[in-house]
Amino acid sequence: MANISKSYQAAVYLRLSREDGDVAEGGKQVSNSIANQKELVMDYLKSHPEITVVSTYTDDGFSGVNFERPEFQRMLSDIREDKINCVIVKDLSRFGRNYIESGRYIEKIFPMLGIRFIAITDGYDSINEDMGSDMIIPFKNLINDAYCRDISIKIRSHMDIKRRNGEYIGAFAAYGYLKDEENKNHLVVDEYAADVVRDIFAMKLCGMSQQSIADKLNADGILSPLQYKKSIGVSLESSFRKNVKPKWTYNAVLRILKNEVYIGTVVQGKCTTPNYKIKKRIHKDESEWVRVEDMHEPIIPKSDFVLVQDLLLRDTRVSPGQAELFPLSGLVYCADCGEPMIRKTVPAGDKRYVYYVCSGNKRDKTKCSMHSISEKKLEAGVMELVKASIAKVIGLSDALEIINESSGMKPDIVKYDRRIEKLREEAETCNDRKKNLYEDYKDEVLSKDEYSMLRDQYQRQIADIEKSISSLEAERDGILANGSGKQGWIEKLKSYEGFTELNRELVAFLIERIEVFDTDTIRVTYRFQKAIEEMERVVELYSEKMKEAV
């Protein structure tokens, strides 16, 4: 044994990590707790008077897979400054679980720097030259590495099951929601923030740009998502300086407008890491995301969300000095070449004239003729067509109400409703069985393969049932074209009856596309074009039946 009369200035290094399995489920600490590690080291030092503790370094909550830990790095800095010439740990797993990196420090770096290394419960002290460390240390480090890999695989598998079951596993709830106190994997509505989310969607539907929405929220003193979370006691870190209040931004508004969580859908698994050692996040293709619908109470109606996504895809740039979009922005197209028509302002003395011109002709004179239409004429023409369409839909709706009241129609409706209700009960039964599978898997009644097979089987059954329900509802809606599935848009359309000017909300809700011909003729395609045509078909069909009955 080597002479240990030399005095040593020691660093006591302590580490604990749930990620490495050092903490049991439910937060209960096992024997690797920081307090237990420290107590064991202090007891060891009682029989080693040659060692004086200079400092204790504690990485609580940091994985042993890599060495980019704050306290470990501080310890290395002190070693470089010759403050320390001895490192003490409870065991090799506390030092690290990456056998390559651990071996590099213990077998190369520390000896080169003259650092004595002690792993107490592994019985290792680098000052002793007869310990067979050439075999012991690499072997133990390899075991620790393998343990960490096993834990990582189990955690990934566990999280994957939770994602596929639609359980929310994010660290923080999305703005507008809180984590359910009774179930941390379920979201509940936070009414204050939810009202802000509703306002954001409403402003977008009214034609405001993302930046204009952000500016208004800031002007109204609405706390940004980060500020709000901190105000309700959520502990989180940010890149903002302590004395700078984070504000609403273009990107913050855009993230909310695009987030499916607000229609009750949980979307997870957007990123991954190559393996348990490399923590670099890799963005996955959208087709690989895990998307589960109807997992919590929605804040935004699905119809409004879909409409906003469509608006975000259009050319909806806001002109300088304008807070909102012009009513027809991004909706006007050339009927001849299909290219968008661009709004242009032409000064003429003290006056300014506004036109929509074909962008296809601007790029290539041979592609399309140089035709345009004044904004005033276009808006007047669109207003006339929209008013006529609203009147038409209201008339069709009234006619359908009369048809629906006729005694000959009711048996058909009841028949469809009964079949649909029966299918919904079957879907609910399958869904309950699918949920119970997870409990059986946790209780080890089912293996992972059995769980996956049965879960996929129930999902296919549910999908087939939902497809049948959709088909029956479509048939029923052919009879009741203004029934429960479509009554919402008709009622909203009725609220616009008698409007006197075009506004972005009305246009975005009703119009899919406006086409302008070379002759200044205007054609409007409505978002509910197919529904309107179906209403016409049903009214015509049952009007004939009622005549025959008479």
Give one DSSP letter per residue of 344-402, joined into a string. Answer: EEEEETTEEEEEEEEHHHHH-TTTS---EEEHHHHHHHHHHHHHHHHHHHHHHHHHHHH
Q: What is the largest CA-CA distance in the chain?
A: 117
* Domains of the chain as residue ranges with CATH: 8-153 (3.40.50.1390), 165-313 (3.90.1750.20), 391-549 (no CATH)
Q: What is the pLDDT of residue 129?
A: 59
Q: Stretch 470-488: mean pLDDT, rounded?
A: 63
Q: Stretch 471-493: mean pLDDT, rounded?
A: 66
Share of the chain above pLDDT 70, in %: 79
**39-48, 164-173, 478-487, 507-516: least confident range:** 478-487
Strand 177-179 to strand 187-189: parallel, antiparallel, or no bridges (unpaired)? antiparallel
Q: Stretch 63-75: mean pLDDT, rounded?
A: 88
Describe the crossing of helices 375-405 and 529-549 by its angle, rounded to 10 degrees: 40
**20-34, 66-80, 209-223: least confident range:** 20-34
Q: What is the pLDDT of residue 479?
A: 61
Q: What is the pLDDT of residue 163?
A: 80
pLDDT band of 289, cuts 50, 70, 90: confident
**131-140, 214-223, 271-280, 352-361: least confident range:** 131-140
For residue 120, pLDDT beyond 80: yes
Share of the chain above pLDDT 90, in %: 26
For residue 520, pLDDT beyond 70: yes
Q: Angle 375-380-381 (CA atoms, 0-180°, nearest 5)?
A: 100
For residue 145, pLDDT beyond 80: no
Q: What is the pLDDT of residue 185?
A: 86
- Residue with token string 């504690």: 58
Q: What is the pLDDT of residue 118?
A: 93
Q: What is the 3-state secondary structure (H, E, C) of 386-397?
A: HHHHHHHHHHHH
**24-33, 82-91, 283-292, 473-482: least confident range:** 24-33
Distance from C-alpha of 138 to C-alpha of 356, rounded to nearest angstrom = 75
Closest to 95 in 3D by CA, of 67, 123, 136? 67
Q: What is the pLDDT of residue 25?
A: 45
For residue 362, pLDDT beyond 60: yes
For residue 65, pLDDT beyond 50: yes
Q: Stretch 270-291: mean pLDDT, rounded?
A: 73
Residues 311-341: pLDDT tens digits?
Answer: 888 755 555 555 567 888 888 999 988 888 8
For residue 521, pLDDT beyond 80: yes
Distance from C-alpha of 512 to C-alpha of 397, rounded to nearest angstrom = 21
pLDDT band of 527, cuts 50, 70, 90: confident
pLDDT band of 516, cuts 50, 70, 90: very high
Q: What is the pLDDT of residue 28?
A: 42
- 99 close to 67: Cβ distance less than 8 angstroms: no
Residues 246-274: pLDDT tens digits?
Answer: 899 999 999 999 999 999 999 988 886 66
Chain mean pLDDT for the chain: 81
For residue 99, pLDDT beyond 80: no
